[in-house]
């Protein structure tokens, strides 16, 4: 690691070590954990989530740095990882499309965690297919009126603002909604198998000034995709960190536990599962950091690579953590043990920020286009 990332890695490791005593409690909680919030704030790591002009660390948000942190935080505490990641994901539409006034008002607060961020895309009847959202913005006497319901929104009950995708006259647009605006109400939940700070937000004819718009009319989905281009690979990094810790746990357990006269790790089938997992973790790490490096150079072209990396790494983590539970036998099932926690936390990674099947479906179109275009060129 060069010094830029070495320093970040060191700070993230120190934070992960601090979180160890309360990690089980935080990851069991669907309310904000004050210890995690305090320690994350003190670490200064969230400054990575915004550009330096607005109180951040680097000139522009560096996807590699975000991956370095998430690879370390996720295996320590999913709650902490989510708090870190959401400051970037929830505020990135402001970074990419906000006016200087919007940036000056919100981004320094995001960097200092004086305000928690949330990105509100999903609705009860629209998840993977965001073109189906019904939350609407209507122009009214020089202002805007926002109505609709957003569900499964991370940080819903604790955020200071929601970057919100809504239907507009010209398609889908984004608006920046302060959480204390009149007509906004939040209901926490539902409870998930891997607890998460989520909730349902209702916008009941919320009156907003025209200046609440984020960027241009009709470009809301582009801003959401720009956010994913920078942050999607980091879901893969979280998966890599999780899988690595699961493998470490399984190796420790199986190399000391003996059955049939020798350590489990030396029994053919178990050894094979451990080594296959090792190879998969290394492959996942490479594809994730390759995607993050490409996103750092040009986030506009990075979405395909980020999607491929997210798909490969989260699917690998699912397989690896399942194998690790298997080779640990009954000890892999003990509630709130490290391995059981990792097993539960691995599951949502394959669903949020692009379910695996949705990614496969869009990536298959890119693949076909890429191959057929190359064939056409070589035929000429
Ligand atoms: C822990 C957690 C946190 C979340 N946080 C947020 C947040 O902060 N903000 C936010 O806006 N949303 C958030 N979400 C919602 C998340 O983005 C959605 O769950 C995700 O987009 C998938 O939508 P869905 O669950 O409605 O699944 P659906 O769209 O109903 O799809 C269900 C399944 O059908 C399959 N499928 C769907 N479409 C296709 C297709 N075209 N081709 C092949 N298969 C397909 C996939 O297997 C998919 O998993 C969160 C979800 C979770 C679990």
- Per-residue pLDDT, 379: 73
- Per-residue pLDDT, 299: 65
- Per-residue pLDDT, 141: 84
CA torsion through residues 171, 175, 181, 187, sign: positive
CA distance 162 to 184: 10
- Per-residue pLDDT, 261: 97
Ligand 1 pocket mutation, candidates 122, 350, 356, 364, criterion most atoms within 8 A of CB: 122
Kindly tell me if the per-residue pLDDT of 376 is higher than 80: no
The stretch 252-280 carries a mean pLDDT of 98
CA distance 182 to 208: 9
Nearest atom in ligand 1 to 361's CA: 42
* Torsion angle defined by CA atoms of residues 60, 65, 66 and 70, in that order, rounded to the nearest 10 degrees: -170
The stretch 47-62 carries a mean pLDDT of 98
- Per-residue pLDDT, 380: 67
The per-residue DSSP string of 10-25 comes to HHHHHHHHHHGGGHHH
Which residue's alpha carbon is at the smallest distance from atom 12 of ligand 1?
122
Nearest atom in ligand 1 to 354's CA: 21
Tell me if residue 8 falls in helix, strand or coil: helix
Of 74-83, 354-363, 364-373, the poorest mean pLDDT is in 364-373
Ligand 1 pocket mutation, candidates 351, 360, 362, criterion most atoms within 8 A of CB: 351
The stretch 326-338 carries a mean pLDDT of 97
Q: What does the block give as tokens for 243?
A: 């899988």
CA distance 117 to 371: 40
Decide: 67 and 292 in contact? Cβ < 8 Å.
yes
Residue 26 C-alpha to ligand 1 middle, in angstroms?
24
Kindly tell me if the per-residue pLDDT of 286 is higher than 90: yes
Residue tagged 């994901």 (tokens): 89
Residue 351 C-alpha to ligand 1 middle, in angstroms?
5
- Per-residue pLDDT, 2: 76
- Per-residue pLDDT, 374: 77
List, in sequence order, every residue forming a beta bridge with 117; answer none if it has no partner.
161
CA distance 22 to 36: 8
Residue 337 C-alpha to ligand 1 middle, in angstroms?
28
Question: Nearest to residue 155, comparing CAs of 269, 267, 261, 30?
Answer: 30
Residue 91 C-alpha to ligand 1 middle, in angstroms?
20
Kindly tell me if the per-residue pLDDT of 24 is higher than 70: yes
Question: Between these two residues, 78 and 4, which has the higher pLDDT value?
Answer: 78
Residue 245 C-alpha to ligand 1 middle, in angstroms?
26
Provide the 10 A C-beta neighbour count for residue 337.
Answer: 16
- pLDDT band at 224, cuts 50/70/90? very high
Question: Between these two residues, 218 and 378, which has the higher pLDDT value?
Answer: 218
Decide: 212 and 144 in contact? Cβ < 8 Å.
yes
Cβ-based neighbours of 271, under 8 Å, separated by 6 or more: 265
* pTM, two decimal places: 0.97
Q: What does the block give as tokens for 318?
A: 């699912």
Q: What is the pLDDT of residues 147-192, one digit of tens each?
A: 999 999 999 999 999 999 999 987 999 999 999 999 999 999 999 9
CA torsion through residues 148, 153, 158, 163, sign: negative
Q: What is the pLDDT of residues 104-149, one digit of tens each?
A: 999 999 999 999 999 999 999 999 999 999 999 999 888 999 999 9
Give the N- to C-terminal CA distance of the chain in Å, as an integer.
44
The mean pLDDT of the chain is 96
- Per-residue pLDDT, 142: 84
- pLDDT band at 300, cuts 50/70/90? low
């Amino acid at each position: 690691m060069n010094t830029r990332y070495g320093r970040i890695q060191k700070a993230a490791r120190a934070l992960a070590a601090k979180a160890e005593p309360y990690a089980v409690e935080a990851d069991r909680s669907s309310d904000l954990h004050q210890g995690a919030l305090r320690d994350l704030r003190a670490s200064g790591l969230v400054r990575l989530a915004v550009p330096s002009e607005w109180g951040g660390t680097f000139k522009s948000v560096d996807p590699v740095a975000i991956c370095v942190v998430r690879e370390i935080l996720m295996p320590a505490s999913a709650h902490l990882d989510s708090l870190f990641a959401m400051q970037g994901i929830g505020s990135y539409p402001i970074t990419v499309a906000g006016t200087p006034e919007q940036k000056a008002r919100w981004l320094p607060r995001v960097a200092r965690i004086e305000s928690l961020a949330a990105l509100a895309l999903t609705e009860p009847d629209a998840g993977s297919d965001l073109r189906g959202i019904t939350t609407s913005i209507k122009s009214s006497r020089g202002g805007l009126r926002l109505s609709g319901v957003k569900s499964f929104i991370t940080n819903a009950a604790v955020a200071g603002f929601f970057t919100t995708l809504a239907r507009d006259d010209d398609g889908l647009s984004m608006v920046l909604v302060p959480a204390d605006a009149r007509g906004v109400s939040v209901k926490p939940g539902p409870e998930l198998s891997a607890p998460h700070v989520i909730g349902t937000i209702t916008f009941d004819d919320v009156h907003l000034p025209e200046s609440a718009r984020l960027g241009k009319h009709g470009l809301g989905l582009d801003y959401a995709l720009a956010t994913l281009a920078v942050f999607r690979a980091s879901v893969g990094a979280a998966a890599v960190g999780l899988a690595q810790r699961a493998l470490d746990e399984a190796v420790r357990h199986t190399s000391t536990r003996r059955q049939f006269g020798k350590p489990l790790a030396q029994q053919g089938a178990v050894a094979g599962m451990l080594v296959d997992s090792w190879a998969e973790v290394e492959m996942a790490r490479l594809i994730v950091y390759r995607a993050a490096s490409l996103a750092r150079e040009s986030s506009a072209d990075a979405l395909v690579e980020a999607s491929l990396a997210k798909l490969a790494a989260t699917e690998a983590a699912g397989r690896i953590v399942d194998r690790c539970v298997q080779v640990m036998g009954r000890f892999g099932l003990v509630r709130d043990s490290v391995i059981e926690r990792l097993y539960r936390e691995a599951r949502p990674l394959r669903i949020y920020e692009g379910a695996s099947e949705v990614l496969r479906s869009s990536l298959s179109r890119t693949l076909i286009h890429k191959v057929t275009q190359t064939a056409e060129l070589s035929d000429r």
